[in-house]
Structure 1
């Protein structure tokens, strides 16, 4: 049972987390892609594949997208067709729901150890293709009747880097006695809210699933003339989604996305550079290989390719009060690997370093978001993306409040939504992209 410590509520967690970080030696060493143990570079295509044919592959993709203008480009992409499990186990202690979190090492994490969900496993992992140790607690999410589902949906992951990748995001509440294994810790929602405000503690998979947690209403602040009051009214807004969904459906119907798999070694503008796949102008990302040692993982040693972005991104949600109700500015986004032509993403989603060339036009609202004074920045933290596939991928997550004269009428593809809209949509598949879900988890800490 979690301890009550009102003087230092997170002190116990930080002591435990520090001990976990010191308890095991981890090592991540970059290795040329052609020398990765268990992987091979296909001689005819250059594609990077695992010896079992499972887990994932790195392939080439040619893309044509029509989303207002026609765009065509080619890029490497990760293809991982199997559906994994991102599961959070919930149990009440003294009437307070707690979530079972895991301190998990991922080779791409910038600080090695971060908080993952109770279960974070690919289908290959929890079916033990690697012949390693079983995944703890997975039975709560695979065996019917082990608990009461609070949320359950197939959700996409980064469309710029994954080809149609989805995971099952599931939250299950149990009344059983749950044995607490090494590396796991019970945390309340209030504690997780505080940890989400810290840089690089709560990993992407946790944020994605937390976005769907059915948060209780905060009626006590609904009358406040403040950001929290406007947010509370946004959470309690009328539940009819028809207009929003109609506008989003119209945006999807007006778009098209054509994709063609091409050999990785035949991508224009990309080449092998000392065992890495890189773009000739140094933009966007590289594909590199790593050898990994982690004694507390299901397999203590392994090798794998990772995608390494060129710089820190900006993921921003712009908000504005309308008649006292906070509205959130979403954008329909079509990316190379988008599962269903378009999903709703944040107002801004980019890596600014990719737009420093003189001829490159800045993404809409990037400068505006970054120029707002500090008293209009409601949330600001740096969070890592999925460390199991991406190397040192970080984004600055921002929730900002626009000036009162910020226009309500915006270009096609931009849609205003309430917090109630987002919390309803996140419970279904293929509406909110992973960046929007992570921002929703961050936004919920402000309630």
Structure 2
């Protein structure tokens, strides 16, 4: 097969079961509905402002050696909570002989417990709504963001902090009583977490639910619209929404328009058009990269890592780049516990997370990369075309510079189909900001595939998202951003 040209269309998949097609239709209706049919006494803006006013969040920098309830392991120097729960910060030795940087050491968060990212869905007036939470996190630059119904680590919901119970958790502990829309284990940032996983679950309920303070029913369209607003929709919401089966054969007839880009996006989701690669070819390509096993890791003492300076205040790279480990003291009136201390990862610089897209045989395709990060369970996950902090490359060798970074940075405004500055996980990362971009490939530039890249449709990405560890968390965020473009926009 010529890898630089689209392959013939794959044999058609068996038709989706009627229930599956109906669910896709219902999700689509919710995505196209930007006015809620639930009677709510105030607008989103006033509700969110009131939640911010109530939160009373305060975050102060403190020394790592002064963190309440935390200490350094006398043998390894690792930062650990006295309860033995929550998470630890350890040292990791990484070897990647075929990579541009063949060997390095770094701090990494070790959190072996599986967290819950849960969304409750309920139909009102024939439209699916999702119960969203206005939640504060210590690492959020603006403190308050739109979060899933439940966003909790195992240590939190077992109440190791001796605080209040997590609202609505019982629904996700008794999920068999409700209709499961999505339920899959997914990874988090493989550069900063060691094999961290969360259970992304969406349940449809028919029960009458008392809406607690700080929660609100919203349509998918309302949430999607807020993605374009800087730093409102948090990472956990974005990853949970990406797992929704918003793909299927009924989309194209429902959304046929005169907007060429949007039509191509609809066909990409519908899965009825030709694809550059069959699913069998894509799975084989991913398996080939995983089988190479090029990256290996082993633990090292946190206080003895090469290239890092450790002090009572922080742990930082000697170059001043990449990230640091810092300590914070937190007080928050609307969390399960009123105050606590913890270490956090603080990135140096704003990241760039971008995908190139183009139309192939009438369907929009996304250029995905087989990305390697030390914390992945399977070593390789599909990542965006570009995923980096550009200023870090001033101290890295030239070959480390991402292949399509310059193409994305030089994109003309009319080629940029989505742009928004969004935060990463605010429970562990301090002011981790990335610019998310969807960019139409310009002319012939970037159209040829290389061994680490493949053109993939949204339908194929949705198929992979039914399973664990195929798309990294940044790619899942961009899938949700692309889904937000299904609704027509004025102008």
What TM-score bracket applies, with the shorter chain setting the length? over 0.9
Does 2:456 correspond to 1:425? Answer: no
Q: Aligned residue for 1:215?
A: 246
CA deviation vs aligned residue, 1:25-79 (integer Å, no higher than 9, x gap): 1110000000000100223322100001111000000011255667211000000
* Paired residue total: 444
Does the CA contact (< 8 Å) of 2:181 and 2:203 recur in 1? yes
Which of 180, 198, 208 is the equivalent residue of 2:229? 198
Which of 89, 110, 128 is the equivalent residue of 2:141? 110
Q: How has the CA–CA distance of structure 1 residues 75 and 248 changed in structure 2, closer, same or farther, with 3 Å as cutoff?
A: same
- The whole-number CA distance in structure 1 between the counterparts of 2:98 and 2:293 is 5
- The whole-number CA distance in structure 2 between the counterparts of 1:403 and 1:318 is 9
Does the CA contact (< 8 Å) of 1:321 and 1:404 recur in 2? no
Does 2:311 correspond to 1:279? Answer: no
Displacement of 1:406: 3.2
- The whole-number CA distance in structure 2 between the counterparts of 1:160 and 1:81 is 15
Task: Please state whether the residue corresponding to 1:397 is helix, strand or coil.
Answer: strand
Does the CA contact (< 8 Å) of 1:10 and 1:191 recur in 2? no
- The whole-number CA distance in structure 2 between the counterparts of 1:92 and 1:74 is 50
Superposition map of 1:11-410 within 5 A: 12-67=43-98, 71-215=102-246, 217-222=251-256, 224=258, 226-238=260-272, 241-357=279-395, 359-361=397-399, 362-410=401-449
- The whole-number CA distance in structure 1 between the counterparts of 2:34 and 2:211 is 14
- The whole-number CA distance in structure 2 between the counterparts of 1:432 and 1:179 is 35
Does the CA contact (< 8 Å) of 1:277 and 1:288 recur in 2? yes
- The whole-number CA distance in structure 2 between the counterparts of 1:18 and 1:127 is 30
Displacement of 1:127: 1.1
Task: Please state whether the residue corresponding to 2:112 is helix, strand or coil.
Answer: coil
TM-score normalised by the chain length of structure 1: 0.95
- The whole-number CA distance in structure 2 between the counterparts of 1:287 and 1:70 is 22
- The whole-number CA distance in structure 1 between the counterparts of 2:202 and 2:177 is 12
Task: Please state whether the residue corresponding to 1:187 is helix, strand or coil.
Answer: strand
- The whole-number CA distance in structure 2 between the counterparts of 1:80 and 1:149 is 26
Question: 5+ unaligned residues in a row in structure 2: which ranges?
Answer: 1-32, 487-491
RMSD: 2.1
Does the CA contact (< 8 Å) of 1:67 and 1:255 recur in 2? no
- The whole-number CA distance in structure 1 between the counterparts of 2:87 and 2:317 is 21
Does the CA contact (< 8 Å) of 1:86 and 1:121 recur in 2? yes
- The whole-number CA distance in structure 1 between the counterparts of 2:341 and 2:300 is 25
Greater mean alpha carbon deviation, residues 129-138 or residues 144-153 = 144-153
Q: How has the CA–CA distance of structure 1 residues 358 and 385 changed in structure 2, closer, same or farther, with 3 Å as cutoff?
A: closer
Does the CA contact (< 8 Å) of 2:384 and 2:475 recur in 1? yes
- The whole-number CA distance in structure 2 between the counterparts of 1:343 and 1:26 is 35
CA deviation vs aligned residue, 1:211-255 (integer Å, no higher than 9, x gap): 112336253444646110111111122596212111111122223
Which of 437, 453, 460 is the equivalent residue of 1:414? 453
- The whole-number CA distance in structure 2 between the counterparts of 1:69 and 1:205 is 31
Does the CA contact (< 8 Å) of 1:320 and 1:404 recur in 2? no
Does the CA contact (< 8 Å) of 2:117 and 2:150 recur in 1? yes
- The whole-number CA distance in structure 2 between the counterparts of 1:246 and 1:358 is 31
Does the CA contact (< 8 Å) of 1:287 and 1:308 recur in 2? yes
- The whole-number CA distance in structure 1 between the counterparts of 2:294 and 2:41 is 48
Does the CA contact (< 8 Å) of 2:54 and 2:333 recur in 1? no
Q: How has the CA–CA distance of structure 1 residues 273 and 12 changed in structure 2, closer, same or farther, with 3 Å as cutoff?
A: same
Question: Could you say which structure has the higher strand fraction?
Answer: 1
Does the CA contact (< 8 Å) of 2:65 and 2:312 recur in 1? no
